Structure 1
């Protein structure tokens, strides 16, 4: 009966390894430790200091079970130099048996200050006669159901059964001073006590440098391969009408009350140029909030339509997709085109009609949410896919939209979260980037004020004054219902509080759980000044454009991310009124929260905000990696390792041009079956 149990345990371990993303032998080889413990030596108790992880050999002199303040096992152990206390808050009878007086053990744990003496809490206990380890003990990233011994055994077997030979000739590594891959792997998994432990744990050790370079090289090879593949994929060139035919762009611009800024014109020219190529455009249009990306996207869509194609615009939220639809629909009518809106809550009959119009080509422009990529959506002839707030979508979602075309369409991504140059250089080598770095005329500067929650009454009085002067106000809250863990003012409670404090004011409430029709009605009423004050969650983060709303209050601002605060602030300053964004915060503030609020106060430049946000948070949110399920850089750091990014890019170019087999072998080692995602 023993073998089935063993098989079940093995299967269970395998499933946990899979959950960690360790599905191949090379995955295990590249599963490097988080930190190390030194079990190569025994330290006298007298030399142990609080904060150290040490290994001692000592005899139990006393043990007892205490019941205050809770049931716990406490033991005192001694060696020739001194004594220390051991404590278990949860323990088994076998552990109590271990701690009988007179027994001698090898004990390992972190030393800390106890009630009256130094102590170890939940230390590891083993026999004294076992040989000491000759290498530092690796502590690996793990998951519930998987112990360190299981991981270490799996890693050791993988190293023994996998070739660690160089797949790229050593001649390319030697000028860079990088150690061999096999040596780096062995050092990182089983370093000797002679290795610099601080360098290992801070990832500055030469072994880490080699691993980080290889990871960066794989990334740069992936990006370059994706660009090469795209340039060899067929697309339909979308060219401008030949004079004297008047283009749809000219027809629309003749009817609008504004002209494009120089930056908008430059970006549109870049987009139009890419659309004339016979391979798919893969361009990112980025610009700060309020810079005018939407009209540029519309004009790109018109180029597709006048070539007999359809354009699809996918947005991450229903509110944003509705805002886009309203603008695209209004502009489409001016030039005699049909624009439709596809979203999840659309009624059955209207959905059938919309799908039919998309399929038979009656709909020229299609705006929607992720409903665009669901089964049953068939385009007549999709020529341009526009992804708004592209970092909010996963790679597969972006790919799925493009794959609904007969021939791979041109793709335009948009982001109101400016991507710093260092990040673009590392992660977006396959994207051509257009930047709208100029604000349209008439946009007023936004004054940002930091106000403690204790001064709430002053803020409400300011709201009352602004409304009397004809203004409109946003009041933003992070949650819509009570939470025991986050003591935040909720949108519902804020709505009730403001109704009581301002009985003469017309107040609306909108949040993500409202039915779509009700949400749309509240937003329409606010846009048409039937409401003075809109209490809302972050559903108005992007896309909402009410020029008369010149005051925003963000409650519990310390709870928001920096990019999100900047996006929210961008909902005001869209008209002629002097605009103010009040960030109400509650102390005590964490260091990161204080840095966020300081950045918001000091600048309204989206690129500076993005750089600060990136320093505080890392690149994940900018790249949509969380949604895609793909790792970003696991080991390298885009800022700290910027030098190696440049070296990796240079080597990637050489390998692809002159040693494609080595390039492929390196990709197979580091990113098997993953680099195709970069086409998204």
Structure 2
């Protein structure tokens, strides 16, 4: 007998175990939760997603055409066969095919396994592994083919002789697994069948009444039917149960975080009537929007409690999150504590420093002759600061002179000590891992935990908020401040010199009107590993315009008479700040940049953005980038230059951005086009997501149901000491990429 925690090696040979490890499958539980991509039924396949170029796949279908073709550049022939799998046509090419061409004739039912290529949108396999398989009459002895066929036949015969399972070719439905060159789909299924034969019935985290009220299978039934279904209904029912288990594992961890957080101690920070917060509000030349007032009140209620705040502030680009966070930080400073604002890049940290100093004026000049009464001090800490400046900053932080400390990852270093940290604000939280954020959580005085606010300008769909950020309360700013200008966005084909020329003419017109322009490129272009540069040169699909190329092209071409500067992440910090200061002051007409200007950069006079190779950016990133323009009194213009095929997913993505300024709608589209594991992976400290069934787009009800159950269990049993099956489920689904909370508990 085996358990879900065992290594597959307790039952399987070394070669198979190593092959599974190449797929990151290291336990029996991970093997049984590794789902088939699709299923082969006698006569047809179910529908499936488009295969990705470069992935290893297995195709089962009928040969509809078989032809020997003479090679053009050298002597000899190759065999081209066309296989219809019931969903699409796949072309396979075999070289030196004399020994196999008679077997691969029209009408033969075959299994092919190889690496996917595309030519004119046609799936192709070059010299794949192959096998001609029976029509389901039970005569497995007729299987012929390459080495894979022999392996399939031998393994299946052994299993049948051992009485483990019906011979594979006699089953009504055969699972097809995502495989690799190290391990075939057939080997994976044989491994699963061997394990299932030795697996005892599994305990269930759900009681019978709860499970039956939702029409769910038992956990044991689901693990067996996902791999050995007799009907399509079996597959559907198994997926529904395994989907719920994944949602429950996530929500259990998040419930643990929430409840453990509420039991921690923080500092209460009520409003101070004559404090810095009140003084800044009196000085503002405008009134807060209703949304800003509402969010400030929500955060204020949290700050007034001794339970540490854990809140997510999401809002549209330019909705005023920085001002909201500043007002709430000042409330904490008014109560005698320090605040930290952590940003993902030095450019953004420096921008926050300049913006907050400007907003506060003499309220941020503590220690200077010009300081207002009760003023505080703002400190900036980045990794590239020179020793003398860093030493003074660290001194201001540890003594409490600095009420607000702004910085990058440098804030996480052990040598950074705070006098009395009361609040942490993390900007663009998706750039930081759970562990990095938790470092600052532990920097409070005498074991007291600081209040915690994370901000994002990337709107988050409700289902994502319930999963990746389910341990946080959420505040949302949808309303833009009065005076924000509209941004018009247009897709421009780079293949048309006439259109590209017009882009630069339009930029010149904008500059002639006294305004400024961003030009954004996807890469720097000055260095990098030689093999990476060779890849770019050899593969046209990877060739993009770099910052260096674009800077040279514009300087010597259509815009050469204007002031143009470069900005990218490998520039020394002093140079980056110098360029941004000059651009902010209006001394530079055009900045040619990478995405270092994606968030936080605020130059009201910049009204036009040109994004080169726009198809290389995601939907939310494009929305973030264009949010840098239209921040003053003039309307914004964003031009998306692309070489994407007019009929392609990339072009659809660009059209979606051009057609909407609604960040929440674009976030939904972005989620549709991305791998959901990228989002779910933010829960985990490792690189991959082990979630296979849960959809953040389609399963809101499942997630909400799992959240309710998790909250009920965890509120009574935080460590799950009396709920061992649930603890094992969490471990099995989220390990080995352990959730940070579990590592610490």
Same fold (TM over 0.5): yes
- The answer to whether the 8 Å contact 2:603/2:631 transfers is yes
> Residue 286 of structure 1 aligns to a residue in which SS?
strand
- The answer to whether the 8 Å contact 1:477/1:489 transfers is yes
Alignment-derived partner of residue 29 in structure 1: 32
Count of aligned residue pairs for this structure pair: 629
Matches within 5 A, 1:241-320: 241=272, 243=273, 246-320=274-348
Quickly say closer, same or farther: Cα 1:183–1:491, change in 2 above 3 A: same
Is 1:439 the equivalent of 2:480? yes
> Residue 413 of structure 1 aligns to a residue in which SS?
strand
> Residue 402 of structure 2 aligns to a residue in which SS?
coil
Quickly say closer, same or farther: Cα 1:20–1:468, change in 2 above 3 A: same
Alignment-derived partner of residue 584 in structure 2: 527
Could you give the per-residue CA deviations for residues 273-331 of structure 1, whole angstroms, max 9, x where no partner exists? 10122221111111111111101111111122222221111111111111111123334
Quickly say closer, same or farther: Cα 1:54–1:221, change in 2 above 3 A: same
- The answer to whether the 8 Å contact 1:555/1:585 transfers is yes
Matches within 5 A, 1:261-660: 261-331=289-359, 333-335=361-363, 336-406=375-445, 407-453=448-494, 454=496, 455-481=499-525, 483-484=536-537, 485=539, 486-500=542-556, 501-589=558-646, 591-619=648-676, 625=682, 628-629=685-686, 631=689, 633-656=691-714
TM superposition score normalised by structure 1: 0.82
Could you give the per-residue CA deviations for residues 114-150 of structure 1, whole angstroms, max 9, x where no partner exists? xxxx999430434679464254554444566455576
> Residue 729 of structure 2 aligns to a residue in which SS?
helix
Distance 1:627 1:457 in 2: 47
Distance 2:14 2:386 in 1: 46
In the TM superposition, residue 89 of structure 1 has moved relative to its aligned partner by 4.4
Quickly say closer, same or farther: Cα 1:226–1:471, change in 2 above 3 A: same
Could you give the per-residue CA deviations for residues 358-392 of structure 1, whole angstroms, max 9, x where no partner exists? 22322221111111112322222211111101112
- The answer to whether the 8 Å contact 2:463/2:703 transfers is no
> Residue 523 of structure 2 aligns to a residue in which SS?
coil
In the TM superposition, residue 571 of structure 1 has moved relative to its aligned partner by 0.4
In the TM superposition, residue 428 of structure 1 has moved relative to its aligned partner by 3.3
Could you give the per-residue CA deviations for residues 520-543 of structure 1, whole angstroms, max 9, x where no partner exists? 111111111111111111111111
Q: Does 143-152 or 521-530 show the bigger shift?
A: 143-152
Distance 1:398 1:90 in 2: 58
In the TM superposition, residue 357 of structure 1 has moved relative to its aligned partner by 2.4
Alignment-derived partner of residue 216 in structure 1: 247
In the TM superposition, residue 593 of structure 1 has moved relative to its aligned partner by 1.8
- The answer to whether the 8 Å contact 1:477/1:538 transfers is yes
Could you give the per-residue CA deviations for residues 64-105 of structure 1, whole angstroms, max 9, x where no partner exists? 9999768888699xxxxxxxx9964499xxx97x9999xxxx
Distance 2:113 2:684 in 1: 40
Quickly say closer, same or farther: Cα 1:386–1:163, change in 2 above 3 A: farther
Quickly say closer, same or farther: Cα 1:54–1:452, change in 2 above 3 A: closer
Alignment-derived partner of residue 665 in structure 1: 725
- The answer to whether the 8 Å contact 1:449/1:583 transfers is yes
Alignment-derived partner of residue 60 in structure 1: none
In the TM superposition, residue 479 of structure 1 has moved relative to its aligned partner by 1.9
- The answer to whether the 8 Å contact 1:477/1:535 transfers is yes
In the TM superposition, residue 640 of structure 1 has moved relative to its aligned partner by 2.3
Quickly say closer, same or farther: Cα 1:72–1:398, change in 2 above 3 A: farther
Is 1:195 the equivalent of 2:231? yes
Distance 2:713 2:75 in 1: 63
In the TM superposition, residue 217 of structure 1 has moved relative to its aligned partner by 2.0
Alignment-derived partner of residue 228 in structure 1: 259
> Residue 189 of structure 1 aligns to a residue in which SS?
coil
- The answer to whether the 8 Å contact 1:475/1:534 transfers is yes
- The answer to whether the 8 Å contact 1:286/1:434 transfers is yes
In the TM superposition, residue 164 of structure 1 has moved relative to its aligned partner by 1.3
Matches within 5 A, 1:173-188: 173-188=211-226
Quickly say closer, same or farther: Cα 1:52–1:506, change in 2 above 3 A: closer
Quickly say closer, same or farther: Cα 1:253–1:87, change in 2 above 3 A: closer
> Residue 552 of structure 1 aligns to a residue in which SS?
strand
Q: CA RMSD in A?
A: 3.8
- The answer to whether the 8 Å contact 2:435/2:740 transfers is no
Quickly say closer, same or farther: Cα 1:37–1:66, change in 2 above 3 A: farther
Distance 1:315 1:11 in 2: 47
Equivalent in 48, 53, 75 of residue 60 of structure 2: 53
Quickly say closer, same or farther: Cα 1:622–1:542, change in 2 above 3 A: farther
Quickly say closer, same or farther: Cα 1:208–1:236, change in 2 above 3 A: same
> Residue 226 of structure 2 aligns to a residue in which SS?
helix
In the TM superposition, residue 615 of structure 1 has moved relative to its aligned partner by 2.2
In the TM superposition, residue 16 of structure 1 has moved relative to its aligned partner by 6.6
In the TM superposition, residue 218 of structure 1 has moved relative to its aligned partner by 2.1
- The answer to whether the 8 Å contact 1:288/1:437 transfers is yes
Distance 2:388 2:15 in 1: 48
Distance 1:154 1:662 in 2: 33
Distance 2:320 2:187 in 1: 55
Q: Which runs of 5+ in 1 are unaligned?
A: 1-5, 42-50, 57-62, 77-84, 113-117
Quickly say closer, same or farther: Cα 1:299–1:111, change in 2 above 3 A: closer
Equivalent in 151, 167, 183 of residue 205 of structure 2: 167
- The answer to whether the 8 Å contact 1:572/1:580 transfers is yes
In the TM superposition, residue 632 of structure 1 has moved relative to its aligned partner by 7.1
TM superposition score normalised by structure 2: 0.76
